[in-house]
Structure 1
Amino acid sequence: MLCKTALIGSVLTGTIAALAATTSPTVLDRADVDADTFGDACRTIAGKKWVAPKDVRACFTSISVSPKAKDNIIEVVDKTLAAFHTSRYYQKRAPQPFAAEVGVDLDSEFARMRRTRYSSEYEFHLDFSRTIKRLNDGHAGYINACYDSVYLTLVPTPLVLLTDKRGDQYVHIAPEAWDLVSSSFSDQIDVWQNALPGNLRGKLKSLSGAKVLKINGQDPFKVVNAHAQVAGAFQGVGARQNGFFASYRAANGGGFNYVPGEFAQKSLPLEDSVTLTIQRIDSSKTDTVTLPYRSLLATGQTWTDKASFRQNLCVAQPDTNGEDWYSRGFATESDPPESPLFKFQQQDKMKPEDRKKWAVNVAVDSTPLSTLKLPRGPVEPTPLLSYSIVQTFLLPDKKTGVLTLGSFTAGDVYGVMMAMLDGLTELRSLGATQLIVDVTNNGGGIICLGHWLHRILAGAKSTTEPQAGLDTILRAGPLVQRLVKAVNEGKDDSWMTAYHTSWYRFPNNTDVPENYNYLLPIDNRRINDERVEFSPRLIDRCQPFWVDMPTKPIFPTNKVAIVSNGRCASTCAMLSIAMSKQEGSKTVVVGGVDNVKQQYCGIVGGESTDFVAMDFSVKSLKMKNHPLAPPDFITNSMQGITFRLGLGIWNRHEPEEWQDHPADYQIPLTAETVNKPYAVWSEVAKTVFKR
């Protein structure tokens, strides 16, 4: 059986590019503006597409912190992570190699925040959000839609890290910066052009490719490292550093998207401007330029003043919390309500029916997926196959095939499966003997698609059948035990909750029987002085796939190279680890600071979900009054969760999440290869396959 209920998916309401090319959704007339008598800061920005970050902050900081709202956010997130999140107690003090990277005592932090007096709700949000980010766990992202990505705050100089011919690394303004800004943000170019000093005024294009000597008067690497301390998402510092820089991602439907990087694009209006000391291409002169950040409206919600801003964006919305499937009639509906967290998941759009059927393992970020188009290079081959998330290419050497995947979620799942198989088979028939799988910025997605790709790449063997993935465990504390007991008492006849026995399978590849308590015997673990209860081992219900597939590997697995910028998460991480550790495939990180160990993946997880899905289960099983059950959010907040945790391949008792995944190769980026996928692949083939 292939299916599993998963109340998570990916809904991206519009795109950055579309927002940049359209007019604002609400326009104030003159009477409204004149009526703004006492400086309602939210009225000042209402209906405006582009505004100054300070004006957004003025709106945000005008909202007073409510003690009730603050306590509610802390209580919901605390109880959600305590009952359901598999990594909370590991994250109190992570094992090696991440002991220096992850160490957050949430009990102490929540107690501190309860005591702290904040000048505004926005100040509290910054503290709370950054505390959760310090878990460095993209599955446990916290979002408040009152603030996060209401505006995207942008500067026209995305940065990249380049290595010169002598082997020295420097930060540069991206060579493609002008092409990106002129095509995607043309209505703001004059603002940035006019901000340039003296003889540089109107010459924004000339900054592209410039070497960056200082950022706000500091060494650029100091700024990169400081950002990595608060960026969150990945345990490995290398992946957090790499997120600072511009990169690309294979797009759903073909081509590539441009990811501006966390220097050039921010989900909050944190900075008004940046001062760069630069040396432009073909110039020996040093220039200092100050460029303003501009905030671009990135939500479909509208408002006219602070009151409507709060009502439409800040208080709990109809989809903020879960519902009782049975008392509200959801069990008979074809599609479950969507979680608001879908917008922030780093995967492509899922069909509503797929959100019900397929379990996912996907990262969450406060910035939705970028759909800006990667500026085209002078030579770009046409893919042999392009279907949904799948693209295949044959390099000019005629022996290196390439498969690109920007996520593991999009369109028709079975269609994607067959596209993967057909594309790889075609490459083999054309003479390819080695394969590059480019998963740069792949945030994960449908778990069974990762299983499928592993199976068709490696063939039929003990590492791919009956499971081509990781054994998993889930939290089994008192609340979860009561939820499973309620299932076994017949309170989930329609198999709608996350704990129904029909979704689970034993490691011997037999299904969990109806009314069986699969939490027993409890796996009691001592983690950082805490007693934490887990279930026994379970496996994913992906196979059999009910589709004919080759019994032998399509490519020798030691001739497969999995390539990324280290930001390969969730399902992407599980596939990469299995191919590396079990099949001998090579792992490659392109870019990265040269004295920092590059992990080829991060935030492994096992299965992810969110507060809404858990709240549906709790309410549907009549456990909302349990003392350990989280209450409803009263704010427009969201919380991600690692629902099941994957166990290790080599160290089978401990989670794979906290094991080392150093890349076999780290290939530096140059001006000739940066954000040019085709040039990157040629360099990988030359380096890894020694052609």
Structure 2
Amino acid sequence: MRSISIFSSFQLLLVFTLFISNSTAAAPTVLESLASTINLATNLAAKKNSDNATKYDPCAAIAGKSTASFNDAKACLDFFKYDKDIAKQTLDTVRKITNDLYVFNELAKNPPQVEGLGITPIDISHGLDLIEKENWKSDREFQEAIALLLDKVEDAHLSYSPFCYRQFIFWQPIQLNALLRNQRLVINVAYVKDDIWPDADSSWVGCEVVQIDGIEAMEMVVNYAVNNNGESKDVNTCFNNIMNTKSYFHGWDDGADDLGYHRFLPAQEYHNYTLKCPQKGTLPKQEEYDEPFTVVVPWVAQVPPSYTSAESYWKNFCESSHYSKGNVTKRDIHYDLHELKAIHEGDVFALNANTNAAAAGENKHGRYIEFIQLDKPNDKVGVIDIQSFSIAAEDREAFVQNVTTGLRTFEKDGVEKIILDLSSNGGGDACAGEFLINTFFNSTPDYPSDIKYSPLLERVVKKAYEQQNTKWLDYKPLHNDSSRGSEWFTDTHTYARGNDKNVRFSQPVSLSCAGWGGLTSPDNNKNGNNTFVNNKWKPSDVVILSDGRCGSTCAIVASRLHLSHQVPAMGLGGIRGNRMQFASFPGGESDRLSSFLMDLEILGLSTDADAPLPFPERADIGWTFREVYKPTKEFTGQETDLLEYSVINADCRLYFDDDNADDVKRLWADAAKVLLAGQCLYIEQ
């Protein structure tokens, strides 16, 4: 077992050490003993909270305020009691999805041993059983237990988001990054948030963090990354994910788990930071410090608007129209599509923390792509900065035109080398990635992928073809052009996964990209504007720049450029001396319950006995349903060929420093120097 960081939730993480599949036989007995011990320690506090709840409303006490203390926010969030009916409905839905639809369920329990990946076996089904047996003190603790269990699988596609408990935003007024300073990797104060805590001192910026809560700072941060961040199976990516710079703010996911920003209740009220700060008139890199000092920094909660009491908080943020108390198996209902759409589109957060979005190149859906030619002496280098592949349907043609126009401009202006910055790109539409690959290097054979079989999905796919509706039409057989309609799914193959030797999958498939109307086709020439034939840049003229948070579609694009076209990759940040990957969670394709239920409603399958019920509280779950393989000479379907369980390391490395951490153009200039000097060469994997 890995050691547990002191930032971890003591109670929950002790329980979740029992999820390791090697211990499952003894886990129920151990859990009962552990729960008894914990209950003895918490009964008095729970009784006090229960008595106080009848006297005052802790949510009303902070309603209308901009910020609240850790304890006041906790009192509000823990006001809502554990409900066994809600718990049963919630767990039944999570079980259906993870057992029947999650493509890596068997591998999560018994993963392959891969050098360079730190993978802990997690038996999801057994973990859910343990959660159900526990008598939780609050609904929040129960809901967060599910989120933590799925997080431990270290697949960012697999996540549970209880929106009732994601409405506060918790900040540490000290925000940290990791910098290479005089050949030494240090934890540094990147910036402070005096807007939420007036005692935050701007003079702390640039100070080295010596200790956190009495433990050496780098040890603490690495330990936290290893134990508490489920973003990736690569520790360097997790390390980068818990750090923040002004150029790369990592708060785009609803459960962001870094050292200074949470949407969930932190494990403790405050932290002690021991700092050593540069003497007045000196720069941090001169390392002339004043005497170290320790500052006690609280977690500060931003309070959501639009509620006045616990009752209105529950109604506005937690209550679901799908809750059926005492009748949890009723199937003669239709889904509330308005609520599902609001959940799917993220319109359930009262606060929006994404304040660091770049202004350049933005549209109403956010920034997709920007082309930047660097200044002298690096003016022969251009940067293609892609922040997301989540292209809205109405923006697809504009995205294609932006790519082709940008490349034409680079060509006209004499750009000889290209940095493809994929840092902090959470993925999106795989067809957008397909277009990018084809534009640079013409058509590339698709990587094989397949979907885990279930009787429910068979009915879904068949209905989709009968009605010619929903995304389940988007696939085509990779090697069998004679297959028609839903045969690609019903004519199954069987492969070994973990200890299960007979897991059924669809035929190997690829995406049709029909929804793009031919825009992504390499021979597309619509209006003569959307085609660019690359006759200028070879793979060695392009470098992938990534902090590892290039996930999902981004990970597949980066892997295909690297493995199929030998484009070198430059890793950014991470732990010095530890080889890093440049992509994370490349599972293939994910779905969310909110969109899956909308598909079922459209296809007339909302009453199907095998369909998962909606959650009784406002919540959503995401999971990987399509797995993708590395390119191989002969397709075998082996689990060791899956991208999700493979190591593809960067060819060279760049670190943040005092000069480039808050200036992305300086960072790109540093990357350009490496590229122009020929110091980032492709290494055969």
Same fold (TM over 0.5): yes
Residue 524 (structure 1) aligned with residue 506 (structure 2)? no
Shift in Å, 1:544? 2.7
Partner of 1:170: 186
Shift in Å, 1:73? 1.4
Shift in Å, 1:248? 5.1
Aligned residues: 586
Report 1:500-579 matches (<5 A). Answer: 502-507=473-478, 513-514=484-485, 516-530=486-500, 531-542=502-513, 543-544=520-521, 546-547=524-525, 548-579=530-561
One-letter amino acid of the counterpart of residue 144, structure 1: P
From the superposition, tell whether residues 341 and 478 of structure 1 become closer, same or farther in structure 2 (CA, over 3 Å). Answer: same
One-letter amino acid of the counterpart of residue 671, structure 2: V
Partner of 1:435: 418
Report 1:136-535 matches (<5 A). Answer: 136-148=154-166, 150-165=167-182, 167-174=183-190, 177-178=191-192, 181=193, 185=195, 188-190=196-198, 192-193=199-200, 204-228=201-225, 229-247=227-245, 262-270=258-266, 271-282=268-279, 283-298=289-304, 302-317=306-321, 338=341, 340-343=343-346, 370-372=354-356, 388-395=367-374, 396=376, 397-410=378-391, 412-458=395-441, 460-461=442-443, 463=444, 469-487=446-464, 490=466, 493=467, 495-499=468-472, 502-507=473-478, 513-514=484-485, 516-530=486-500, 531-535=502-506
Please give the per-residue CA displacement for 1:560-592, whole angstroms capped at 9, x wherever unaligned: 111121111011111100110111111112111
From the superposition, tell whether residues 607 and 373 of structure 1 become closer, same or farther in structure 2 (CA, over 3 Å). Answer: closer
One-letter amino acid of the counterpart of residue 524, structure 1: T
CA distance in 1 between counterparts of 2:54 and 2:454 reads 55
CA distance in 1 between counterparts of 2:566 and 2:659 reads 30
CA distance in 1 between counterparts of 2:398 and 2:152 reads 38
One-letter amino acid of the counterpart of residue 564, structure 1: S
Q: Which runs of 5+ in 2 are unaligned?
A: 1-52, 280-288, 514-519, 679-685
Residue of structure 2 aligned with 1:664, choices 642, 651, 668 = 651
Shift in Å, 1:52? 1.0
Please give the per-residue CA displacement for 1:480-536, whole angstroms capped at 9, x wherever unaligned: 223334456x4xx2x33443xx4222225959634x422243111221222321100
From the superposition, tell whether residues 250 and 244 of structure 1 become closer, same or farther in structure 2 (CA, over 3 Å). Answer: closer
CA distance in 2 between counterparts of 1:425 and 1:248 reads 31
From the superposition, tell whether residues 369 and 648 of structure 1 become closer, same or farther in structure 2 (CA, over 3 Å). Answer: farther
Partner of 2:582: 600
Between 268-277 and 580-589, the greater mean CA deviation after superposition: 268-277
Please give the per-residue CA displacement for 1:84-111, whole angstroms capped at 9, x wherever unaligned: 2222222223222476324210111011
CA distance in 2 between counterparts of 1:366 and 1:214 reads 35
Please give the per-residue CA displacement for 1:58-117, whole angstroms capped at 9, x wherever unaligned: 011121100111122111111012222222222223222476324210111011111111
SS of the residue corresponding to residue 682 of structure 1 reads helix
Please identify which structure carries the higher helix content.
Answer: 2
Report 1:122-137 matches (<5 A). Answer: 122-137=140-155
Shift in Å, 1:665? 1.3
From the superposition, tell whether residues 656 and 366 of structure 1 become closer, same or farther in structure 2 (CA, over 3 Å). Answer: farther
From the superposition, tell whether residues 443 and 676 of structure 1 become closer, same or farther in structure 2 (CA, over 3 Å). Answer: same
Does structure 1 retain, via aligned residues, the 8 Å contact 2:231–2:241?
A: no
Does structure 1 retain, via aligned residues, the 8 Å contact 2:449–2:508?
A: yes
SS of the residue corresponding to residue 107 of structure 2 reads coil
Please give the per-residue CA displacement for 1:313-366, whole angstroms capped at 9, x wherever unaligned: 222147999xx9998998xxxx99625143299xxxxxxxxxxxxxxxxxxx99
Residue 101 (structure 1) aligned with residue 105 (structure 2)? no
Q: Which runs of 5+ in 1 are unaligned?
A: 1-35, 194-203, 346-364, 377-381
Does structure 1 retain, via aligned residues, the 8 Å contact 2:384–2:421?
A: yes
CA distance in 2 between counterparts of 1:85 and 1:261 reads 23
Residue 119 (structure 1) aligned with residue 115 (structure 2)? no
Does structure 2 retain, via aligned residues, the 8 Å contact 1:506–1:512?
A: yes
| Greater relative contact order structure (CA < 8 Å, 6+ sep) | 1
Between 538-547 and 429-438, the greater mean CA deviation after superposition: 538-547
From the superposition, tell whether residues 107 and 471 of structure 1 become closer, same or farther in structure 2 (CA, over 3 Å). Answer: same
Does structure 1 retain, via aligned residues, the 8 Å contact 2:233–2:584?
A: yes
Does structure 2 retain, via aligned residues, the 8 Å contact 1:559–1:586?
A: no
CA distance in 1 between counterparts of 2:319 and 2:335 reads 22
Please give the per-residue CA displacement for 1:572-618, whole angstroms capped at 9, x wherever unaligned: 11110011011111111211111332110011122221112222334
- % identity of equivalent residues: 19
